[in-house]
Each structure stands twice: as C-alpha cells, then as structure tokens.
Amino acid sequence: MVELQLLRRDHAPALLAFERENRAYFAASVPDRGDEYFARFDDRQRDLLAEQEAGVCYFHVLVGPAGEVLGRVNLVDVADGGAELGYRIAERATGRGMATEAVREVCRLAAEDYGLTTLRAATTLDNRASRAVLARTGFIVTGETQLAGSPGLTYLRSLESLPPPHADQL
C-alpha cells in the first residue's frame, strides 16, 4: 500500500534515491534540478524542513510498502490562504492513478489541516499527464505562462467545497 506522509528527516535517503533514479525522466518534462541540488541535498533537506516547521511550505512524499519514495506532492509559498501545488511521480509508478489520488489527498489536507482555501498550479502544454491530473482533481485553467521557456498553463483550485473522499484513496 502507498501512503502519503509529511516529509520527515528520516525520508532523506529514500528521497535522494528517488530523485537520482528519476532525474532523466523528470528532466524530460520539467527543468533539471542540476548537479548542485544533489551535491547539497542534505543542506537543502534541512532548509526545507525548517520552512515546513515555519508553516510556509508543506512537503509530502508517497511512500511504498518497502519504504521507497514513489513521489512527492508539495505545497509551497503558503500565504493568504493559498499555496502553489507541485508534484512528481516516479517513472515506474506512473499510469496507476497515484498522482491523482495524491493530489486529491493533499487538497483535503490543505483545506482541513493547513487551513488553506485555494491552490495554484502550473504545467507545460506538452505535459499531458499533469494536465489530466489537474483537471481530474478540480483545478481550472486560469491563464497561460512560460515555464523554463516552454509554453504552459496556470490553474486554480478552490478548496472551500471539497467533494467527499473516494473509496480508493491512498
């Protein structure tokens, strides 16, 4: 069973393995994190956990049955009742509805636990899978943007009237 968990310090080894294993896969659709990200991973994790402790971000990992990280779903720049949603799923875990269920669960957490009322997101036009996840989870297109030089769309999701949970949720 896959479980969505709030990021903790002990996730670091599995999270680093996830990022390394999927680096080329992610770089095909989003800007690469760069070598510096991996060289300073421990420092970066410490900073992220401090941001989470301060309530300006909420970082989640999808953890598989063997403790492996299969994805991440993050809420960043929390302010004025809103936040920016970002997510990535391991290549070997795609196509199973995992991203959709994880985003639904983070929307629920954002409303019920974090007190947020809106979420924003953006994706490139050529990222069909991400666009489908956003559509299935109640995000609406609000405009056009550029993401690392590629055309994209911006989205918004109101959290004020969340639907009841699905029986097959994480």
- Residue-by-residue pLDDT tens, the chain, 170 positions: 899 999 999 999 999 999 999 999 988 877 778 888 899 999 999 999 999 999 999 999 999 999 999 999 999 999 999 999 999 999 999 999 999 999 999 999 999 999 999 999 999 998 899 999 999 999 999 999 998 888 999 999 999 875 555 544 45
Helix (H) or strand (E) holding 84: strand 82-89
Task: Write the DSSP symbol of residue 41.
Answer: H
Q: What angle do CA 164, 83, 34 make, to 5 degrees?
A: 120
Q: What share of the chain is helix, strand, coil (3-state, %, to 5)?
A: 40, 30, 30
| Per-residue pLDDT, 28 | 81
Q: What is the CA radius of gyration of the chain?
A: 15
Domains along the chain with CATH numbers: 3-158 (3.40.630.30)
| Per-residue pLDDT, 46 | 95
pTM for the model stands at: 0.89
Q: Which residues contact 62 (CB under 8 A, 6 or more apart)?
A: 2, 3, 4, 5, 69, 70, 71, 72, 73, 89, 93, 98, 102, 170
Torsion of CA 11, 27, 4, 85, to 10 degrees: 120
